[in-house]
Amino acid sequence: MAPVRTLVGLVEEKILESSFIRDEDERPKVAYNDFSNEIPIISLAGIDDVDGRRPEICKKIVDAFENWGIFQVVDHGVDIKLISEMTRLAKEFFALSSEEKLRFDMSGGKKGGFIVSSHLQGEAVRNWREIMTYFSYPIKQRDYSRWPNKPIGWRNVTEQYSEELMSLSCKLLQVLSEAMGLDKEAVTKACIEMDQKVVVNYYPKCPQPDLTLGLKRHTDPGTITLLLQDNVGGLQATRDNGNTWITVQPLEGAFVVNLGDHGHYLSNGRFKNADHQAVVNSNSSRLSIATFQNPAPEATVYPLKVREGEKPVLDEPMTFAEMYRKKMNRDLEMGMMKKLAKEIQFQELKKNAKVEAKRLDQILA
Ligand code: OGA
Ligand code: NI
């Protein structure tokens, strides 16, 4: 069966289409609205005042990255009107007809646009989401032909949004640099020139949410991610390798800040790369906007500082492009191995059933 190109028709079905059904061990363990307040909420109010709250705020951020790799940031300075415009327009986009959305179809390797599940080819199971991806930085590489011109005004709002999030991210990365005892700009310099990718996630209502995920478990590959989510809930985090999960309490106007693999390696593993996933539900659709701050593809991935008595977490330096490629290949291989293992198991069962049937035949003959 040809893969569906939007989720529009599937939302109304009673039964979930099979390509979205996950193995039992990957399915949600905790409800989308069973909220936890374990993830710290940190206010940035006063971070730039001389002799102000800076040291106290930095300490909270560092603690959060050491414990969880996640926190929620408030009083971050991003215009609240801009945030609500961005959300409103994004919702309007996903409400457009399939035909309109597919004008920006990114399947076949196009850089930026619309797709179901993810741009990765060869996924074993699909995610219950539609996405719209913008490659927003470096500015000179922007391809506006991949930025939707509907709803009117979204393009312009996305430009402003990506600029404000770039500057908030750089502020947070300064804190990380300082925490490692380095120059304020050490992390951004290690990125050479910061890339930014904005991914708008739309998770429609799902007929059988317990069998699937909106976005399977992962760590973000880049330096840092800023996630804006609506009040529905669905983002979940684990810090014991998937044994227990918590659902992050949605907080209006806040960004969830995640550390990615690059940030984790730069800190020589001191700061955690957040292990997370998104679950869906059958009551309401959900929108989230993830802004990924990544290093340039040619940037070197290697600890900026190895503390006394520690060993480097990486054997040798590699470029971010290599790191990314390895990660994606590993993910795809894991998926394929699982699929293959299931197929072999099925063949074995079939073989055993045949032997059994033959034996029965003989007994009954
Ligand atoms: C992501 C992500 C979580 C969410 O896009 O990488 O983790 O709640 N999203 O949408
Ligand atoms: Ni993520």
Residue 131 — pLDDT band, cuts 50, 70, 90?
Answer: very high
Is 198's C-beta closer than 6 angstroms to any atom of ligand 1?
no
Dist. CA 224 → ligand 2 center (Å): 10
Q: d(Cα 359, Cα 280) in Å, to the nearest integer?
A: 47
- Atom 1, ligand 1: which residue's CA is nearest? 290
Q: What is the mean pLDDT of residues 238-266?
A: 97
Instruction: Give the Cβ contact number of residue 51 at 10 Å.
Output: 6
Give me the residue label for tokens 């979205």: 20
Percentage of residues of the chain with pLDDT beyond 90:
88
If DSSP states are collapsed to H, E and C, what string results for 79-126? CHHHHHHHHHHHHHHHCCCHHHHHCCECCCCCCCEEEECCCCCCCCCC
**Which conformational region is residue 92 in: left (phi greater than 0), alpha (psi within -120 to 50 degrees), or beta?**
alpha
**Which is it for strands 246-248 and 35-36: parallel, antiparallel or unpaired?**
parallel
Is the pLDDT at 212 greater than 60? The verdict is yes
Is the pLDDT at 1 greater than 60? The verdict is no
For residue 23, give the amino acid letter. Answer: D
> CB–CB of 119/106 below 8 Å?
yes
> CB–CB of 298/320 below 8 Å?
yes
Alpha helices in the chain (DSSP H): 8-11, 54-67, 80-94, 98-102, 154-179, 186-190, 261-266, 320-364
Residues at Cβ < 5 Å from ligand 2 ion: 220
What are the pLDDT digits (tens) for 170-211? 999 999 999 999 999 999 999 999 999 999 999 999 999 999
> CB–CB of 236/30 below 8 Å?
yes
**Cα–Cα–Cα angle for 21, 289, 133, rounded to 5 degrees:** 80
pLDDT at residue 364 in the model: 84
Is 232's C-beta closer than 6 angstroms to any atom of ligand 1?
no
Partners of 136 in the β-ladder:
none
What are the pLDDT digits (tens) for 284-294? 999 999 999 99
Q: What is the mean pLDDT of residues 312-321?
A: 97
pLDDT at residue 51 in the model: 82
From the list 114, 107, 185, the residue with the least C-alpha distance to 149 is 114
Q: What is the mean pLDDT of residues 48-76?
A: 95
Is 229's C-beta closer than 6 angstroms to any atom of ligand 1?
yes
CATH class of the region 7-317: mainly beta
Is 290's C-beta closer than 6 angstroms to any atom of ligand 1?
yes
Q: Give 27's Cβ-side CA count (13 Å radius).
A: 11
**Quick one: tokens of 36?**
């936890």
Q: Give 269's Cβ-side CA count (13 Å radius).
A: 7
Is 273's C-beta closer than 6 angstroms to any atom of ligand 1?
no
